[in-house]
Amino acid sequence: MPEKRIVLRNCEVIDPRQIVTYLERDGFKALEKAVNKLTEEQVIEEVKASGLRGRGGAGFPCGLKWELARKAPGAEKYVICNADEGEVGTFKDRYILEGDPFTLIEAMVIAGYAVGSRRGYIYLRAEYHYLLDLLSNAIGQARERGFLEHFDIDIREGAGAYVCGEESALMDSIEGKRGEVRYRPPFPPSKGLWGKPTIINNVETLMNIPQIILNGASWFSQMGTEWSKGTKVFSLSGDVEKPGVYELVMGSLLRELVEGLASAKNTKMIQVGGATGRIIPYEMIDTPLDFEDILGAGAITVFDESRDIIDIIYRNMEFLAEESCGKCVPCREGTEVMLEILERLSQGEGTEKDIRALQELASAMMLSSLCGLGQAAPNPVMDSLQYYRDVYESRIRKS
């Protein structure tokens, strides 16, 4: 199946340094329509009806999030674009920012109009500092043309912390603190940045907004599956001939992406959703990519026959243990203990007891961790035990 480039429609088509090239492709027409022809409530209804769900991994309904923020009392509200993109194997937001910062800016202004906010922030990870000029320039040009009269945008940079991609840690980071996860409730739409109603949306989520406003909700909801509307932008890496960014309709099969577009061969297993994602064996390559099945933020890392599953799971956990914010016990301690067990298992010094310990830890972490990092850290481990138990067994028998 060929790509369907809706989010990516302007990437490598317009000049990201020249707003004129964006205006020539219906740039800021959606904002014009929203502000002049639709009420704030109508904009939100359109986004709700489209079925757009968050594209950063969690998949929360976008329209509902905006509605909650709109209804929250208070004149001071914030719109945050999450450009922290730290999930391993994910680089789609980088590609989007490189190619089309204008759509993002327009989307944020529309969001500001809809929820009643006058200020937006783009939280840009430190590792994307080289995109700062491009983004600032785009914002400056939008400002010059008068598009930011009622809603202005500031860029805040991260300083190297994966957990700051988690929305509450992100807000703490903007507030000048350690990027620690907050207890919820309250949720950001009622109490977020500096205690004010806040919406935080992923770059890709926002990129869908102008087209939804221009073409209508049913145009969008006709694409995809029952619970996953529209398209999804995927990041392909690992043992593939053609790594890169690909956009497909939701519900497309993993095979179309991995073998059809990225030309992978001799595939053993695929990690979908990054370090906290799922691992599936090649035999399941006809799994659809949507929220109902497997998705995450769309990071697809392919492993060929030469790769050792336990080594991969160990390295994966090393990342998570390092990046844990440290606030809650299940994650802070659980990732470290899992790491220690996995190290011994990978070196052939593990026991049957270790497998049981991993399973018990997994339950505790999934149930009681404060955020997705701890809750999903056990996913790859448990998947590997489900599909590759024999590898663990033979590694244990060696000791």
Partner 1 sequence: MNKIQEGIPSRSKDQENLLVLLEETQNKFGYLSRELLAELAKALGLPISDVYGVATFYSFLSTKPLGRNVIRVCKSLPCYLKNAQPIINCVEQEIGIKPGETTLDGRFSFQLTNCIGACDKAPAIMINHDVHGDLTPEKISQVLAGYK
- Check residue 130 for interaction with partner 1 (CB under 8 A): yes
Distances (CA, A) of 229 to 4, 27, 208, 256, 363: 13, 23, 11, 18, 31
| Residue spans of alpha helices (H) in 251-304 | 254-255
- Check residue 129 for interaction with partner 1 (CB under 8 A): yes
Q: Tell me the closest approach of the beta carbon of residue 380 to partner 1, in angstroms.
A: 10
Quick one: 62 or 262, whose CB is closer to partner 1? 262
> What residues between 340 and 379 interact with partner 1 by CB under 8 A?
none
Quick one: 54 or 86, whose CB is closer to partner 1? 86
Quick one: 109 or 309, whose CB is closer to partner 1? 309
Pick from 46, 87, 166, 204 the residue near partner 1 by CB under 8 A: 87
Quick one: 20 or 132, whose CB is closer to partner 1? 132
Quick one: 212 or 289, whose CB is closer to partner 1? 289
Contact segment (CB under 8 A) with partner 1 among 183-191, 308-316, 327-335, 347-355 equals 308-316
> How far is Cα 50 from Cα 63, in angstroms, rounded to an integer?
8
Contact segment (CB under 8 A) with partner 1 among 11-19, 241-249, 340-348, 389-397 equals 241-249
> How far is Cα 200 from Cα 156, in angstroms, rounded to an integer?
14
Instruction: Give the dihedral sign, CA 138/124/207/254.
Output: positive
> How far is Cα 312 from Cα 318, in angstroms, rounded to an integer?
10
Q: In degrees, to the nearest 5, what angle opens at C-alpha 322 toward C-alphas 398 and 332?
A: 90
From the list 43, 124, 59, the residue with the least C-alpha distance to 85 is 124
**Size of residue set near partner 1 by CB under 8 A:** 49
φ and ψ at 34, to 5 degrees? -60, -50
Sequence length of the chain is 399
φ and ψ at 4, to 5 degrees? -125, 100
Inter-residue contact 253 to 286 (CB < 8 Å): yes
- Check residue 316 for interaction with partner 1 (CB under 8 A): yes
| DSSP symbol at 83 | E
Pick from 106, 157, 166, 167 the residue near partner 1 by CB under 8 A: 157
> What residues between 257 and 296 interact with partner 1 by CB under 8 A?
271, 275
- Check residue 303 for interaction with partner 1 (CB under 8 A): yes
Inter-residue contact 324 to 335 (CB < 8 Å): yes
- Check residue 55 for interaction with partner 1 (CB under 8 A): no
> What residues between 169 and 188 interact with partner 1 by CB under 8 A?
173-179
From the list 206, 175, 170, the residue with the least C-alpha distance to 373 is 170
From the list 237, 275, 314, the residue with the least C-alpha distance to 88 is 275
Pick from 3, 85, 167, 383 the residue near partner 1 by CB under 8 A: 85
From the list 91, 145, 138, 116, the residue with the least C-alpha distance to 301 is 91
Cis (ω within 30 of 0) for the bond into 197? Answer: no
Pick from 16, 57, 89, 251 the residue near partner 1 by CB under 8 A: 89
Inter-residue contact 221 to 210 (CB < 8 Å): no
> How far is Cα 209 from Cα 357, in angstroms, rounded to an integer?
45
Pick from 67, 247, 323, 383 the residue near partner 1 by CB under 8 A: 323
Contact segment (CB under 8 A) with partner 1 among 110-118, 181-189, 288-296, 311-319 equals 311-319
Quick one: 203 or 249, whose CB is closer to partner 1? 203
- Check residue 5 for interaction with partner 1 (CB under 8 A): no
Quick one: 67 or 180, whose CB is closer to partner 1? 180
Contact segment (CB under 8 A) with partner 1 among 23-31, 152-160, 209-217, 359-367 equals 152-160
> How far is Cα 129 from Cα 106, in angstroms, rounded to an integer?
22
Q: Tell me the closest approach of the beta carbon of residue 86 to partner 1, in angstroms.
A: 7
According to the 3-state scheme, what is the secondary structure of 308-324?
CHHHHHHHHHHHHHHHC
Pick from 15, 39, 150, 160 the residue near partner 1 by CB under 8 A: 160
Pick from 26, 76, 127, 152 the residue near partner 1 by CB under 8 A: 127
Question: In the complex, which residues of this chain contact partner 1 (CB under 8 A)?
Answer: 85-91, 93-94, 125-130, 156-162, 173-179, 194, 235-239, 243-245, 271, 275, 301, 303, 307, 312, 315-316, 319, 322-323
